[in-house]
Amino acid sequence: MNNSTKTISPEVSGGTLKSIFLPAGNPGYSLYFIIALGFLLRIYYVFETAGTPFYQFLFSDSKIYADWAASIASSNEWIGKGAYFMAPAYPYFLAVFYKIFDDPILPVRIIQVFISTLNIYLIYLAANKIFDSRKAIIAALLTAFYGPFIFYSGAILSETLQVFVITLGLLFLANAIKSNNWQNWLYAGLVFGVSAIFRATILLPIAIIIIYCLITLTSKKVKTEYTKSVLTVFIAGVLFPIALIFGRNLFVTGEPILLTSNGGINFYIGNNERSPGVFVTPTEFDFYSDLAGKQFASQQSGKQLSSSEASSYWYGKAFAYLKDNPGKALTLYSKKAFLFIFGNENPQSTVMNPEYFKQNYSNLLKLPLIQFALISILSIIGFWSFYRNGNFVYLLFTLGYFISTIIFFVNGRFRLGLTPLLIIFASAAVLHLFELFSKAKTANALKLISIPAAFYVFYILIIPKPAFNDYDAYFHLGEIAYQNKDYDKSIDYYNRSLFFKDHYMSYMNMGNAFAMKRDFRNAVGSYQKAIARNPKYLLAHFNLAFAYNQSNNYNLAIETYNKVIELNPAFEDAYRNLGITYYVLEKYEEAILYFEKFIQISTREDIKAMVRQDIENSKRKIAERNNE
* Phi (first) and psi of residue 403, to 5 degrees: -65, -45
CB pairs under 8 A, 24+ apart, for 186-189? 186/233, 186/234, 186/236, 186/237, 187/237, 188/234, 188/237, 189/233, 189/234, 189/235, 189/236, 189/237, 189/238, 189/239, 189/240
Cα distance between residue 63 and residue 57, in whole Å? 8
Return the closest-CA partner of residue 241 out of 98, 96, 87.
87
Contact 383, 395 (CB under 8 A): yes
Answer yes or no: is 235 within a domain. Answer: yes
Q: How confident is the model at residue 3 (pLDDT cuts 50, 70, 90)?
A: very low
pLDDT band at 177 (very low <50, low <70, confident <90, very high): confident
Q: Which of 24-33, 358-367, 557-566 has the lowest mean pLDDT?
A: 24-33
Domain that holds residue 482: 471-627
DSSP string, 219-258: -TTS-HHHHHHHHHHHHHHHHHHHHHHHHHHHHHHSS--S
Same domain? 479 vs 428: no
> Mean pLDDT, to the nearest integer, of 229-235?
87
* Dihedral Cα 307, 402, 151, 97, nearest 10 deg: 40
Q: Which of 461, 483, 514 is the last residue of a domain?
A: 461
For residue 619, pLDDT over 50 is answered with yes
Same domain, 481 and 387: no
The residue out of 440, 461, 482 marking a domain boundary is 461
Give the chain's length.
Answer: 628
Same domain for 484 and 451, yes or no, is no
Same domain, yes or no: 122 and 169: yes
Q: What is the CATH number of the domain that holds 550?
A: 1.25.40.10
Residue 100 lies in a domain: yes
Would you give the DSSP letter of residue 465?
P
The answer to the question of residue 316 being in a domain is no
438 shares its domain with 484:
no
Q: Give pLDDT, residue 238.
A: 96
- Phi/psi for 486 (5° steps) reads -100, 80
With beta carbons less than 8 A apart as the criterion, state whether 342 and 410 touch.
Answer: no
What confidence tens digit (pLDDT) does each residue in 120-150 have? 999 999 999 999 999 999 999 999 999 999 9
pLDDT at 268 over 90: yes
Residue 287 lies in a domain: no
pLDDT classification of 11: cutoffs 50, 70, 90: very low
**Does 512 fall in a domain?**
yes
State mean pLDDT over 27-38: 92
For 125, half-sphere exposure in the C-beta direction (CA atoms, 13 angstrom radius) is: 22
Closest among 346, 356, 472, 467 to 411, alpha carbons compared: 346
Residue 78 inside a domain? The answer is yes
Query: Binning pLDDT at 50, 70 and 90, where does residue 224 land?
Result: low
Name the domain count of the chain: 2
Last residue of a domain, one of 461, 481, 507: 461
Quick check: is 275 in a domain? no
Are 48 and 160 found together in one domain?
Answer: yes
The percent of residues above 70 in pLDDT, for the chain, comes to 94
291 vs 110, higher pLDDT: 110
At residue 129, the pLDDT reads 93
The verdict on 486 and 442 lying in the same domain is no
Please give the pLDDT value at position 178. 81
CB 298 within 8 A of CB 314: no
- For 522, counting Cβ atoms within 10 Å of its Cβ (0-12 exposed, 13-18 middle, 19+ buried), the class is middle
Q: Tell me how far apart the alpha carbons of residues 57 and 609 are, in angstroms, rounded to a whole number.
A: 36
Same domain for 495 and 400: no
Are the CB atoms for 501 and 520 separated by under 8 Å? no
Q: Is residue 286 part of a domain?
A: no
pLDDT higher than 90, residue 216: no
Residue % of the chain over a pLDDT of 90: 82
* C-alpha to C-alpha distance for 160 and 277, rounded to whole angstroms: 24
446, 581: one domain:
no
Counting Cα atoms < 13 Å in the Cβ hemisphere of 48 gives 19
Report whether 249 contacts 257 (CB < 8 A): yes
pLDDT tens sequence across 481-505: 999 999 999 999 999 999 999 999 9
252: nearest Cα among 195, 194, 290, 308: 308
Same domain, 68 and 124: yes
pLDDT of res. 5: 38
CB 261 within 8 A of CB 83: yes
**Cα–Cα distance for residue pair 223/10, rounded to 1 Å:** 8
Predicted local confidence at residue 292, as pLDDT: 87
From CA 241, how far away is CA 239, in angstroms rounded?
6
Question: Mean pLDDT over residues 210-227, rounded?
Answer: 66
Identify which has the larger pLDDT, 227 or 464.
464
Inform me whether the pLDDT recorded for 543 exceeds 60.
yes
Quickly state the pLDDT bin for 289 (edges 50, 70, 90): confident
Identify how many contiguous H helices and E strands the chain contains and give both numbers. Answer: 31, 0
Q: What is the pLDDT of residue 222?
A: 54
Q: What is the predicted pLDDT for the residue at 493?
A: 97
Q: Are residues 488 and 455 located together in one domain of the fold?
A: no
Average pLDDT over residues 301-319: 94
Give the torsion sign (CA, 209, 214, 215, 221).
Answer: positive
Distance CA 40, CA 394 (A): 31
Q: What is the pLDDT of residues 432-452, one digit of tens each?
A: 999 999 998 999 999 999 999
Minimal CA–CA distance to 479: which of 138, 42, 57, 101? 57
Residue 217 has pLDDT above 70, yes or no: no
To the nearest 5 percent, what fractions of the chain are helix, strand and coil? Answer: 75, 0, 25
- For residues 454 and 476, membership in a common domain is answered with no
